[in-house]
Structure 1
Amino acid sequence: MREVLVRDGLYDGSPHGSPDSPLTQEAGQSWRIAPHPFLLSTSQVAFFHSLGQHLLAFYQALNRLYLESARGAEPAWVAAYLDQGKPDSLVSYSRMKRFRDLLPGVIRPDIIPTEDAPSGNGMVITELDSVPGGIGVTGALARAYSDFDIVGGPDGMVQGFARMLRHHLGERTGCVAIVVSDEAQDYRPEMAWVAARLQKEGIEAYCVHPREVRFTEETLLLARDGSDRPVSLVYRFFELFDLKNIPKSELIMYSAKKERTVVTPPFKPALEEKLAFALLHHPVLAPFWRRELGEATFDLLAGLMPRTWILDPRPVPPAAVIPDLRIGGRAVADWRDLAEASQRDRRYVVKPSGFSELAWGSRGVSVGHDLPQSEWAAALDAALASFPTTPSILQEFHKGRQFELSYFDERAGAVVPMSGRVRLSPYYFVIGERAELAGVLATLCPLDKKVIHGMRDAIMVPCAVAAQQ
């Protein structure tokens, strides 16, 4: 397995933890390799298959809520929160009528099996990502572990991606440009792997730097094999907060506006904010969510998505409290009351909502009960102070359940056990009105890590269906 991943350029072949390795802990090209996948029961696999439609419904409803708020049919503060800190030009662009119904083509929730989940299935969704890394790594791992009953199948990730692209392409001819920015350069090897596999699926796809895209009045072009290839679809693998640093981004946006090129995910920052969870739980918006989602989907998502609040520093009126937030059984009317909470009462996470370089991975995350009180208070103050440009959220912390997997220790030359907590990341590709499960990546981090994410010390494996007894 290791040799296959090294050959594909997706795994750092230097000794594990080598100080000479140029890869950082966030780079995602070095991890602990296990001899077996992470096993899911048939009922868990069925849950993951069904979850995609509920999440697609959530994105559809969130998109509708934002647009109706912007035109005054729903509370104006909804759009104000989702637009906070964004350039006016990007907000105006995202609201154009031609983009009104566009949604992301990929949905990846980060799911933690927990000890204290409020949902009946023992899991919580800590966040949603519509520009996720890991597509290529999960696809390559699925192929490497193909002797097992891999969720989605050994080629599910590539085939799901291909179906999504074909849906967006429709009758258009031309190539697909997977545009990877400098800020996302750590993911370039895996997206190049994806592009190569898409070619084998019959889709002319290239992984490119933004500088490689050329603009004409008629279309975008890529120079390939001595000729110019028209670009029919851009897969946007860059974050919207980074637009000012991305060469040709304004030309890509212009081409999409003129409907000469399809771009997915769309330039809609309102759909990429973690504060959407706070909107789902806001009691004033409950009638909207119940109407748009239906009772079953609303109840399911409200149980899966932890209670979340937007850290807005504006004073709460004297007769009001922050909805459903309590410390030691007492209602809270001032965020700064949280700074004085005991360790037991501050089992919360603070993190940027989005539109920031700190809003992905473990960067910018503060876990309340894991910090000294002074550092927790400072994290709250910093989050409140950053509200004008980068809103942050407060989210309930749920402790992950403990699992045990084995991995190959390269230094010891042996397979050794490891206890840890796992993040399950299912990948859904949106094809029309369907969100199809293509694979699930499991990331098991050591027990001393409070935030679960890709790192050198983590085991990363695909999920497979456990054999029935």
Structure 2
Amino acid sequence: MLTVSQIEAAYPPQGLFPRSAERTEDLLDADAPSTGYRHFPWLLSPAPLELEKPLIRQLQGLGHILAKFQDACHELYHRSAAGETHPWIAKMLDAGKPDWLVAAQRSRRLRQTAPRIIRPDLMLTDGGFAITELDSVPGGQGITAWLSALYAGDGYSILGGATGMIDGFRAAHPGGAHFLISEESSDYLPETNLFAAMLGDGYTVGRAETADAAALQGKTVYRFFELFDTDNIPPSRDLIDHAAQGRLSLSPPPIQHLEEKAWLALFHMPGLQSTWKTLLRGSHYDRLREIIPHGWLLDPAPLPEQAALPWLNLHSWMEVARLSQKERRLVLKISGFDPTSWGGRGVHIGHDMPSPEWQAAIERALADYPEKLWIMQEFHPGRIIEHWHYRQDEGDPRASLMPGRVRLCPYYYRHADGNTVLGGCLATIVPADKKKIHGMRDAILVPCTPA
């Protein structure tokens, strides 16, 4: 078991966080107390999180299923854009996006392109997993790679292996890659520098705002900036246009519709079930039905008098807004293409907020349609587990068990040969009374190991 002194002694010279400021709300909760550690703004643990072998097997097989789901979404979007089926889907997903970005994602080159990294957010529940998001521009690769190597070096069998993150990224980006970090994502610069150093020759880091698209022709560019932020990144349009023309390779590809959480709601829409069954293998469809919570798109269009919102069995969103606090075990979240769509900032948990605020959030979501999409999902409570952590008490680090809920973030890499491989998995364990799970000062961050 690792000690605090061993973990702090292994802290990389490149650092993991900005020295001038602590991580943003994506990692930290400003209201939480300081951990007291010299380097780390999270709770340290002597051991990785143990997962039962059936869960390990499910995680190892999930990447392929999610890759096929993304392929199905991409195919459905393009068929919709061509008017072949459900033309309202592409129209809805494209609303509020710049015309040039829509044209780029509809290009022949990008139609044949798939994301090379798949990073779902999985809530660990009593029944297994619940997917809350498919992160298209994931952070945490450097931290997960470093933690995996650290705990593997102490003798633990780490999910993905000691170098799984490194091997996976290299296989998905053979020949090297140039990471471009935007100011919006600058808190991830230190860990990206570390990750590039771990990857070795051919993997470099630069700033997105000063990139030269012409100088990057023929190269693979890792896009560490969100597509909603392109107005603040002068070279972004040139980079995306070059990618659409095949002059360089952008990873993740600049395909905005794949960065929308709306697909999680569209997957459960009754009128699309026959389409999904056509696009997906039966076993993949069934597994996705098990792990994607029921979801709905918030559309202000009135329903016919005899109709109801599926599963909710209510006639209007205003009826949903008037549900009692106990009845609204629901989560409202913005779909994408907005600064609040990452880091848990655009998430509203129905039973954890006063009725006026819940109603106001629904009214705002309806008013935003169609320029900004919002989805609602069934709330799946996380399973309560206990895990060891060190808390600094008067300078004496002591290990104790903390009851908590777990978010699992597995990193899947699509190799050039089409295989999807699990590189590693970061577990975020927050105190049991927390409803939202994201990085925070009172969270434990560890890799995973078979029980």
Q: What TM-score does the superposition give when structure 2 sets the normalisation length?
A: 0.91
SS of match in other structure, 2:11? helix
Distance 1:254 1:71 in 2: 21
The 8 Å contact of residues 31 and 457 in structure 1, kept in 2 or not, is answered as yes
Distance 2:226 2:25 in 1: 20
Query: CA offset at residue 462 of structure 1?
Result: 0.3
Query: CA offset at residue 379 of structure 1?
Result: 1.1
Counterpart selection for 1:156 from 155, 159, 164:
164
Distance 1:207 1:459 in 2: 28
2:70 alignment counterpart: 59
2:438 alignment counterpart: 453
Provide closer, same or farther for how the CA distance between residues 211 and 338 of structure 1 changes in structure 2, counting only shifts above 3 A. Answer: closer
2:145 alignment counterpart: 139
Distance 2:370 2:231 in 1: 19
1:429 alignment counterpart: 413
Distance 2:260 2:238 in 1: 25
SS of match in other structure, 2:372? coil
Query: CA offset at residue 114 of structure 1?
Result: 1.5
1:5 alignment counterpart: 11
2:99 alignment counterpart: 88
Query: CA offset at residue 287 of structure 1?
Result: 1.0
Distance 2:412 2:211 in 1: 28
Distance 1:255 1:123 in 2: 38
Provide closer, same or farther for how the CA distance between residues 391 and 81 of structure 1 changes in structure 2, counting only shifts above 3 A. Answer: same
SS of match in other structure, 2:339? coil
Query: CA offset at residue 6 of structure 1?
Result: 5.1
The 8 Å contact of residues 17 and 190 in structure 2, kept in 1 or not, is answered as no
Distance 2:166 2:319 in 1: 49
Query: 1:201-250: CA deviations, max 9, x gaps?
Result: xx41111102442244xxx24xxxxxxxx661101111100011113112
Q: What TM-score does the superposition give when structure 1 sets the normalisation length?
A: 0.88
2:42 alignment counterpart: 31
Q: CA RMSD in A?
A: 1.8
Distance 1:245 1:448 in 2: 38
2:341 alignment counterpart: 359
2:32 alignment counterpart: none
One-letter code of the match for 1:266?
Answer: P
**1:59-458 counterparts in 2 under 5 A?**
59-115=70-126, 117=127, 122-146=128-152, 147-166=155-174, 176-199=177-200, 203-216=201-214, 220-221=215-216, 232-325=219-312, 331-412=313-394, 413=396, 414-431=398-415, 432-458=417-443
Query: 1:425-454: CA deviations, max 9, x gaps?
Result: 111001142210011110001122110011
Query: 1:100-140: CA deviations, max 9, x gaps?
Result: 1211110011111213x4xxxx2211111121111111000
Query: CA offset at residue 302 of structure 1?
Result: 0.9
SS of match in other structure, 2:437? coil
Distance 1:26 1:60 in 2: 28
Provide closer, same or farther for how the CA distance between residues 12 and 355 of structure 1 changes in structure 2, counting only shifts above 3 A. Answer: closer
Asked if residue 463 in structure 1 is aligned to residue 448 in structure 2, the reply is yes
State the identity as a percent: 41
Query: CA offset at residue 24 of structure 1?
Result: 3.8
Distance 1:271 1:257 in 2: 16
SS of match in other structure, 1:351? strand
The structure 1 segments of at least 4 consecutive aligned residues displaced by more than 4 Å after TM superposition are: none
The 8 Å contact of residues 411 and 423 in structure 2, kept in 1 or not, is answered as yes
Distance 1:257 1:339 in 2: 42
The 8 Å contact of residues 27 and 186 in structure 1, kept in 2 or not, is answered as no
Q: Which moved more, 1:245-254 or 1:32-41?
A: 245-254
Counterpart selection for 2:51 from 40, 46, 58:
40
Query: CA offset at residue 8 of structure 1?
Result: 4.2
The 8 Å contact of residues 92 and 370 in structure 2, kept in 1 or not, is answered as no
Q: Which moved more, 1:427-436 or 1:135-144?
A: 427-436
